[in-house]
Amino acid sequence: MKKKIQEKLAKERITRKKVKIAAGEDGLSMAILLEDINAKYDGLIEGHGATDERLDRIESKLDATVEMVGSLATDVSILKTDVGTLKTDVGSLATDVSILKTDVGTLKTDVGSLTINMEIVKQDIEIIKGGMRKKIEVEEFSALERRVLVLEHHHGADNLAARFKGVV
């Protein structure tokens, strides 16, 4: 763009030769005027070149910014998808937690029932223990009674009584 404008201005520049032809004898004053006009054109061309350079830098920065915005838009799209997935997962977890709470309540009730049943079992065991003690005592007594009868039979009752008189 810069080169096109410079070329156009260069074509339109007024040269001394053209001014002398047009002005005739008064060429000196016209030449001075022409130098002034040419200097202004040169300044205009240089300013325009600097403006073109600034525009090029701005365009470069704009391109980089557009690229970054495109990248950010892609990232935001990915984040939206991820957030949607997270929402679904959180909903599933909330349902699972609700089910677990219900299950824990049921387990608490079951543990309470088991505690009561365990107390009943403990009481029953104590009763059984007492019965077993009595049964063992009776069985042991019967066994001892049989042993004494056998001994009496072999050694005689009077002989045994005299032998164990001081022991009991």
8 Å CB contact between 30 and 20 = yes
Q: Would residue 152 count as lying in a domain? A: no
Q: Is residue 138 part of a domain?
A: no
What's the one-letter identity of residue 55?
A: L
Is the residue at 157 inside a domain? no
- Provide the pLDDT confidence category of residue 16 given band limits of 50, 70 and 90: very low
20: confidence class by pLDDT, cuts 50, 70, 90: very low
Percent of the chain with pLDDT over 90: 38
141 within some domain: no
In tens, the pLDDT along 80-139 reads: 999 999 999 999 999 999 999 999 999 999 999 999 999 998 898 888 888 877 777 878
Whether residue 134 is contained in a domain is answered as no
159 found inside a domain: no
Amino acid, res. 42:
D
Q: How confident is the model at residue 143 (pLDDT cuts 50, 70, 90)?
A: confident
> How many separate domains does the chain show?
1
pLDDT at 160 over 80: no
User: For residue 49, what pLDDT is reported?
Assistant: 80
Query: How confident is the model over 1-14, as a mean pLDDT?
Result: 55
pTM: 0.39
Residue 137 lies in a domain: no
CB proximity list for 5: less than 8 A, separation 6 or greater: 45, 48, 52
User: Measured between alpha carbons, how far is 103 from 122 in angstroms, rounded to an integer?
Assistant: 28
pLDDT at residue number 10: 57
Range of the domain at 99: 2-118
**Residue 162 domain-assigned (yes or no):** no
How far is the C-alpha of 43 from the C-alpha of 161, rounded, in Å?
Answer: 153
One-letter amino acid for residue 93 of the chain: L
d(CA 90, CA 97): 10
